Structure 1
Amino acid sequence: MKALTIAPGDTVVVVELPIPEPGPNEIRVKVHSVALNLVDALYVAHPADKAFGCVVGSDIAGIVDKVGSDTIQWRVGDKVTGLLQGATSGNIRPGGFAQYVILEVDLAIRIPSTVSYDEAATLPLGSLTAAQALFIRLRINAPFPSPFSFPPEATPAPSILISSAATSIGFYAIELIKLLHSAGAQTYRVFATASPRNHAKLLSLGVEAVFEYRSPTQVDHVRNVSGGITHAFDCLSEDDTTAHISQTFREGGGTIAVIRKAAWNKDGIRADVTPLYGAAWSGLGHEILYNGETLPESPEWRAFTVTFFSFLGRDGKNLLIQPNPVRVMPGGLESIVTKGFALLGSRKVADREKNAVQSSSKPWMKPISGEKLIYHLTS
């Protein structure tokens, strides 16, 4: 099979690898679509220790091609999406940008017939990152069975600010908060920041108000409209974004869930506001080396992922949350670096527009905004 692997010189190459065989509690997936994430490009430009030769890529969707000997819940021909770690750690973990991949059966998500492979490929990493932020780090009780349980909100009308909401993670955070409303659980006033071109989309998802994220008066606007935030999710976590968000909190402060560990400035963060970081990979339940640290195996975090993924595809007919908008890119594995990673960049989202090919007449090379890049590995 063909696969995209890390190579010396901060790049990747397409190589031929043996088609993997599933273990007893695994399934083999023939990959149709892959979705690109910033973390995929980041660890190509800045490879982890021992990553050379490892397959890149996190999000995949395809069809079950073979099942393990102890697997009873999946059959050949089932549509499935899933998450792999994709050359982002110092220990060898399988990646997703290959014609065939192996998924553990309890971490695979069933794709309903109403959802395309392209849409499904946007789901695993983005939705899990959002779920961990909301239902673990921000201590909001989940609308599905979870090993994490928290006391009821002390504030009568709690609110949450989703900053940089027109990102994959931001869209999924809004969708997940909406599920609390339909489940009859504690409800939250939801506010968002984004560029003006994405305001209508976010308002259509049920956000109470959207603010221009580059406005110098953003903090005052958020506080005036909301009365002060009680929870926040920084879906960018770069430069001064976290500090600005901290200024929107009501008296008494609170917690900001951040998605990156060291890309945001600590200066300017209010003393009563605490940023909390967590790696989505912890949800896979394996010990990994990531960002220079050892993340221990966590049965509790894995149990959270298992119940969350099961919840998303529980009836096999409809997803409970709306997939991300997609942009299908031309070419296959060979084009991911030259086109997809070129658009994503390898450091900060804020650098994308100045690095984008502004003069290109190709519609797929326009700057990314409010959509996920998709590549097809099969016709």
Structure 2
Amino acid sequence: MKEALVQPDLSVRIIESPIPTPGPDEITIQVVTLGINPIDWKAADPQVANALLGMLKAKQYANPGKDIAGYVHSVGSNVQEFKLGDRVASTNHGGGFAEYAIGPGFTTYLLPNHVSFEEAVSYGLGYLTAALNLYKELRLSEPWNPATETTPLVIYGASSTVGAFAVKLARLSNIHPIIAVAGRGAGFVSSLLDSSKGDVVIDYRKGSEHVISEIQRSDPKAQNVLDAISIPESISLLSSIPDPVNRQMSLVLPPEAPTVNPRINITVSFAPLLWEPNDPSGPDGEITARIALKAFAYITFRYLVHAQANHLISPHPCEVLPGGLEEISGGLKNLRDGKNSARKYILRIT
């Protein structure tokens, strides 16, 4: 099979590799479409990768692709949910920039008939990260147990894949008002909101003072905050909203300590931890198996099947890049250079 290895300068080298053999709890997928995420270019830069992923024990990939959709090619000995030929989508820690790739059982799910492979691959890591932030870190009501009281939620970076899926999941959870902060994608974000329940979009291009005042207008306490961008500038802005008592702020990347207000309860929902072998925060410390987080992912993706089948959730806008695996380089460079807004790059390779 053909496989794309991403170089530090974000060029790609296409090589011939054997079709991967699934482990007992894995599925080998013949890839039809693949998605490109911001973390994919960051993982290709040695310095950035070490800062983000250096503490991880899981294997690091020269092929960092994470989101794929296609047909089941083979299954591991413990897999009962899938059979050869099934239409599926999956998210893994790497290996997805190839004609065949491994899908872990806990993040692989069956596609309803009406969901195209292009639509399917728009979910993946972004959808999972949004769910982790809302339900694991902020402990908000899930869609199957929706909120019965007013629950304001601030989402910074709401036009990003993570931010947009956070908006969609929040609405399914009856979490309102949603105070969504966006820039060029503000129009797209506005289409996802319900103004009758107090949802608003704030344009960060109007400056920090404007953003803070508008957040306070809708949510004076700002107790539930999701920063889907998690760069020093966004963390600093959200930390400077007055009256931080009881504020929870969930990030998608580890913060730089000087930018964080010590009075705010900061948590980080870093999806790559899903593929770590152990959970140091578990009851047995370093030797605790990472069971709970994998169970969370399994349930979250099974809910996605239900939501897709019943037309409760929509895919993220996509831009299909022309060509084959070689085009991964251009998508990664555009993400690095900030040329993408409110859409996800995908490739169709079969």
User: Partners of 1:304 and 1:122 in 2: how far apart?
Assistant: 20
Contact 1:12 1:44 survives alignment (8 Å): no
Change (3 A) 1:194 1:272: same
Change (3 A) 1:16 1:144: farther
One-letter amino acid matched to 1:3? E
Change (3 A) 1:321 1:75: same
Residue 68 in 1 paired to residue 59 in 2? no
Among all aligned residue pairs of Structure 1 and Structure 2, give the percentage whose two residues are the same amino acid: 27
User: Partners of 2:333 and 2:263 in 1: how far apart?
Assistant: 39
User: Partners of 2:115 and 2:343 in 1: how far apart?
Assistant: 16
One-letter amino acid matched to 2:14? V
Question: How far 1:312 moved relative to its partner?
Answer: 0.9
Equivalent in the alignment of 1:372: 344
Contact 2:179 2:218 survives alignment (8 Å): no
Task: Show the 5 A alignment for 1:187-198.
Answer: 187-195=175-183, 197-198=184-185
Equivalent in the alignment of 1:119: 119
Unaligned runs of 5+ in 2: 281-285
Aligned length: 330
User: Partners of 1:138 and 1:21 in 2: how far apart?
Assistant: 38
Equivalent in the alignment of 2:13: 13
Change (3 A) 1:296 1:9: farther
Contact 2:221 2:247 survives alignment (8 Å): no
- Equivalent position SS for 2:213: helix
Equivalent in the alignment of 2:28: 28
Equivalent in the alignment of 1:276: 267
Equivalent in the alignment of 2:40: 40
- Equivalent position SS for 1:65: strand
Unaligned runs of 5+ in 1: 87-94, 146-151, 182-186, 346-351, 354-366
User: Partners of 2:59 and 2:105 in 1: how far apart?
Assistant: 25
Question: How far 1:4 moved relative to its partner?
Answer: 1.4
Question: How far 1:116 moved relative to its partner?
Answer: 1.3
Q: CA RMSD in A?
A: 2.9
Equivalent in the alignment of 1:331: 323
Contact 2:10 2:41 survives alignment (8 Å): no
Contact 2:65 2:93 survives alignment (8 Å): yes
One-letter amino acid matched to 2:241? T
One-letter amino acid matched to 1:212? D
> TM-score, normalised to structure 1's length?
0.78
Deviations 1:106-145, CA, capped at 9 Å, x for gaps: 3212111221111111212101111111111112132359
One-letter amino acid matched to 1:286? P
> TM-score, normalised to structure 2's length?
0.84
Task: Show the 5 A alignment for 1:1-379.
Answer: 1-6=1-6, 12-46=12-46, 54-86=62-94, 95-144=95-144, 157-181=150-174, 187-195=175-183, 197-207=184-194, 208-216=199-207, 217-248=210-241, 250=243, 252-262=245-255, 264=256, 266-267=258-259, 269-284=260-275, 286-287=277-278, 297-314=289-306, 317-318=309-310, 320-337=312-329, 339-345=330-336, 352-353=337-338, 367-378=339-350
Question: How far 1:53 moved relative to its partner?
Answer: 6.9
Question: How far 1:331 moved relative to its partner?
Answer: 1.7
